[in-house]
Amino acid sequence: MRYHLLIAITGLTILAFSSCKKIKEPVFQGIQNMRINKLNAGKSLMTLDLAYFNPNDMKARLKEADGEAWMDSSYLGHFYVDSAVTIPANSNFIIPVKLDVEMKHILRHSLSALLNEQVLITIKGIAKVGKSGIYKNIPLHYEGKQNMQELFK
């Protein structure tokens, strides 16, 4: 009886691993809908949407994410995702992000953002992504130019 159970488990394990494919990283498409939710002299809360495309044939779930953000190489603040996001297969999706910003950093860069058409945005952090209750920590990294005037429209 144990021998049959061992063969069945081994067969299922081989089947499960043979069906696994290399997972492609989602493609970052840009930052959208930047809003200031709470404006205080010390810290403020901003929300923004990160647009992505999932090139994989399977859906997944983003359980949580957090990290740090910089604007033109100066620290901007801590970001986090506080609600789960379903990532559809072969489709675009949006991740709503909250950003705790030190206002002294925003004020320092507000003139630069108004005068320059684009600013360099850098994001580094960790996301917990998975499927069927199995999650993996994935490093996040983005660095690119963003048009600040377009973001606040």
Report pLDDT digits (tens) over 97-107.
999 987 776 66
Nearest to 66 by CA among 79, 50, 56: 79
Nearest to 29 by CA among 140, 108, 107, 142: 142
Alpha helix (H) ranges present in the chain? 2-18, 103-115, 148-151
Place of tokens 């360099």: 120
Nearest to 85 by CA among 95, 72, 76, 77: 95
Q: Tell me, what's the pLDDT at 108?
A: 62
What are the domain boundaries of the chain? 26-151
Neighbours of 2 (CB within 10 A): 6
User: Is residue 84 a contact partner of residue 63, using CB atoms and an 8 Å limit?
Assistant: yes
Tens of pLDDT, residue by residue over 64-82, are 999 999 888 788 889 999 8
Exposed / middle / buried, residue 71 (Cβ in 10 Å: 0-12, 13-18, 19+): buried
The rounded distance, in Å, linking the Cα atoms of 103 and 93 is 30
Class of domain 26-151: mainly beta
CA-based diameter of the chain, in Å?
Answer: 76
What's the average pLDDT block by block, 10 residues per block, for the chain (153 residues)? 45 45 81 82 85 92 93 86 94 94 67 68 90 89 78 59
